Chain A
Amino acid sequence: EIVMTQSPATLSVSPGERASVSCRASQSISSHIAWYQQKPGQAPRLLIYGASTRATGVPARFSGSGSGTEFTLTISSFQSEDSAIFFCQQYHDWPPLTFGGGTKVEI
């Protein structure tokens, strides 16, 4: 099973700042990674798939990069409504689909 490790666990940012979340895979997953945003009391929302393709309706300030084992989700100019927990997920070698432990990004 591929293990996904996210860092940091918690990230504090100011409005307008750049925020970056990292995800490392235990083996190469090519570009087969997705990112999700989960706000309190809500289901996760797909942000990015294929490492860098934004899902429908996702603002352009969200971007994804990386390939192989190292990936990054970047919020270019953090807005207060972006506060949430972010998860990465690999779909290169499944079952099982596996998720990272999550990164809480807050103001």
Chain B
Amino acid sequence: QVQLVQSGAEVKKPGASVKVSCKPSGYTFTGLFIHWVRQAPGQGLVWMGWINPNSGDATSAQKFQGRVTMTRDTSIGTAYLELSSLTSDDTAIYYCATSLSPYLTFWGQGTLVTVSS
């Protein structure tokens, strides 16, 4: 079955960067798009962007443009989300999710990123 395993929780200082990984299994890595969604404590879901693991083409939401980088390493079947210039507003759970269509069928377990001085 399809599973997405994300990297562990991170604690970062304001101004730093964080890189979260997402390793899918149960399907061909290049066969499905990967989306990134975040959820601040007690808040709703915010879409951050998506990457085509086959081509490496990525599109981020305008809100995050200039601060977010989505990449993948096809040799190890892993996708990455990097967010820079962190502030306390970036404290959230970051999810990767995958699907052939733009509704999100399979989700990772989430990675908690805490930004605190």
Contacts and interface: CB of A to CB of B under 8 A. Distances in A.
A95 B49 contact: yes
Contact of B101 (A36, A91, A99, A101): A91
B97 to A, nearest CB: 8
B47 A96 contact: yes
Contacts of A87: 44-45
Interface in B59-112: 59, 61-63, 95, 97, 101-105, 107-110
B104 to A, nearest CB: 6
Which 8 A-B residue pairings sit nearest by Cβ, starting from the closest? A34-B103, A91-B102, A43-B107, A97-B47, A99-B45, A49-B103, A96-B61, A101-B44
A46 B102 contact: no
Contacts of B46: 99
Interface string B41-65: 0001111011000000001011100
Interface-central residue, B45, B62, B101, B103, by most chain A CB under 10 Å: B103
A91 B47 CA distance: 11
Given A89-B45, A97-B35, 15 more contacts: A34-B104, A36-B45, A43-B107, A43-B110, A44-B107, A46-B103, A87-B44, A89-B103, A94-B102, A95-B61, A96-B62, A97-B47, A99-B47, A100-B44, A102-B45
Nearest to B50: A95
A39 interface: no
A46 B35 contact: no
Contacts of B45: 36, 44, 87, 89, 99, 102
22 contacts: A34-B104, A36-B104, A43-B97, A43-B109, A44-B45, A44-B95, A44-B107, A46-B104, A46-B105, A55-B105, A89-B103, A89-B104, A91-B101, A94-B102, A95-B49, A95-B59, A95-B61, A97-B35, A99-B44, A99-B45, A100-B44, A101-B44
Interface string A11-30: 00000000000000000000
A45 interface: yes
